[in-house]
């Protein structure tokens, strides 16, 4: 069992004054953790000086893949070890949304069998990167699951990790080895590389690159002309950017930001990310969530004090929701996320 940080325990004892709804504690205010570090004055246009990183839910094994449903005004996120997708709303708190979420087999499948990255498509259907079933799937409106892709040229994916949709229906996703029970040495592994892929609406799977040792988070710029990919490699913790061609494939990439000198600041590697309307990139990495200008300048960092894995926009588009180890957090910002 994980022990809660002292900061959270103290904050919770002061801030949690709530009511019980259906067995769920509904706080009238939330405990705050971490701090905001400013590296550039441009951060003032994105976050207020008094903004707080709030813990809205806790007690999970390892949270990932937050996604906001606009129609229903709720958040979903993966708890990978527990093989479940959870749902959270401001008024109703927590509930299970989907179980099993990423593995439907009948044998043990290691420590991270569940779903990872989540995203609602243009029809409001939940799209999932599934570790255990090694596929990208979609949860249809009637509740059934459909496989979108589970292989490249007949070889099964390692464990799809994160994803982003283009407005034309193209789906980009990463495929590292984190979901395989024995990871790189797993005998079930069918590929000797970790790829970044394009899934076209007609079902064609295109390998974009296999230059990443551990591809992870992925997102698009607001104009959909640049693809960003994170590499969760402790020896080379970087984000790369690629120009998109007219056919959806990528041109020559470059290092967008190298976080090697920040590795000693706290837990984590480049992981999940999102962008705001002005093209700023909000990306989880060592010690928290990094905020980059479109040019790759580090403007600031949300230092969560725990291992941050992913983030997404919600509410009216100005709230950043973050999955942080055993927590789900949020912060109010002055920015507005793409798609709002």
List the one residue out of 253, 249, 207 whose CA is nearest residue 230. 253
- Among residues 239, 255, 67, 31, the alpha carbon closest in space to that of 165 is found at 67
pLDDT digits (tens, 9 = 90+) for 195-204: 999 999 999 9
pLDDT band for position 29 (50/70/90)?
A: confident
Decide: 288 and 269 in contact? Cβ < 8 Å: no
What does the pLDDT look like over 271-325, one tens digit per residue? Answer: 999 999 999 999 999 999 999 999 999 999 999 999 999 999 999 999 999 999 9
Say if CB 277 and CB 314 are below 8 A apart: no
**Cis-peptide, bond into residue 100, ω within 30° of zero:** yes
Handedness of CA 84, 85, 90, 91 (dihedral sign): negative
Q: What integer is the mean pLDDT of 100-104?
A: 98
- Spelled out in words, what is the top-level CATH class assigned to the domain 33-332? mainly beta
Question: For residue 71, is pLDDT > 90?
Answer: yes
Q: Is pLDDT above 80 for 246? A: yes
Compute the distance between CA of residue 103 and CA of residue 74 in angstroms, rounded to an integer: 24
CA distance 285 to 273: 9
The number of helix segments (H) and strand segments (E) in the chain equals 1, 30
Across the chain, mean pLDDT equals 93
Can you give the pTM of this predicted structure? Answer: 0.92
Q: Where are the domains of the chain?
A: 33-332
Those residues whose C-beta lies under 8 Å from the C-beta of residue 139, and which sit 6 or more positions away, are 98, 125, 126, 127, 128, 145
């Amino acid at each position: 069992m994980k022990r809660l940080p002292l900061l959270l325990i103290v904050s919770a004892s002061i801030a949690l004054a709530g009511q019980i709804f259906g067995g769920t504690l509904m706080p009238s205010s939330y405990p705050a953790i971490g701090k905001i570090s400013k590296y550039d004055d441009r951060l003032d246009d994105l976050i207020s000086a008094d903004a707080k990183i709030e813990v809205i839910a806790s007690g999970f094994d390892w949270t990932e893949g937050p996604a906001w449903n606009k129609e229903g005004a709720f958040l979903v996120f993966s708890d990978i070890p527990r093989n479940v997708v959870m749902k959270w709303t401001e008024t109703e708190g927590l509930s299970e949304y989907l179980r099993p979420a990423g593995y439907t087999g009948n044998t043990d499948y290691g420590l991270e069998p569940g779903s990872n990255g989540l995203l609602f498509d243009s029809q409001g259907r939940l799209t999932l990167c599934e570790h255990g079933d090694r596929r990208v799937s979609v949860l249809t409106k009637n509740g059934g699951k459909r496989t979108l892709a589970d292989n490249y040229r007949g070889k099964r994916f390692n464990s799809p990790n994160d994803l982003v949709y283009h407005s034309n229906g193209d789906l980009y996703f990463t495929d590292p080895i984190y979901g395989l029970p024995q990871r790189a040495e797993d005998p079930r592994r069918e590929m000797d590389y970790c790829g970044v892929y394009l899934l076209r609406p007609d079902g064609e799977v295109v390998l974009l690159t296999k230059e990443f040792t551990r591809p992870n988070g992925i997102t698009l710029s607001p104009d959909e002309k640049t693809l960003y990919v994170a590499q969760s490699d402790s020896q080379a913790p970087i984000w790369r950017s690629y120009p998109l061609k007219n056919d959806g494939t990528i041109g020559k990439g470059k290092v967008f930001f190298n976080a090697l000198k920040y590795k000693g600041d706290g837990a984590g590697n480049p992981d999940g990310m999102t962008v705001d309307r002005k093209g700023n990139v909000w990306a989880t990495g060592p010690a928290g969530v990094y905020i980059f200008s479109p040019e790759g300048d580090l403007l600031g960092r949300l230092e969560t004090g725990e291992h941050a894995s992913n983030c997404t926009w919600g509410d009216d588009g100005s709230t950043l929701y973050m999955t942080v180890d055993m927590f789900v957090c949020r912060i109010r910002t002055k920015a507005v996320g793409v798609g709002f």
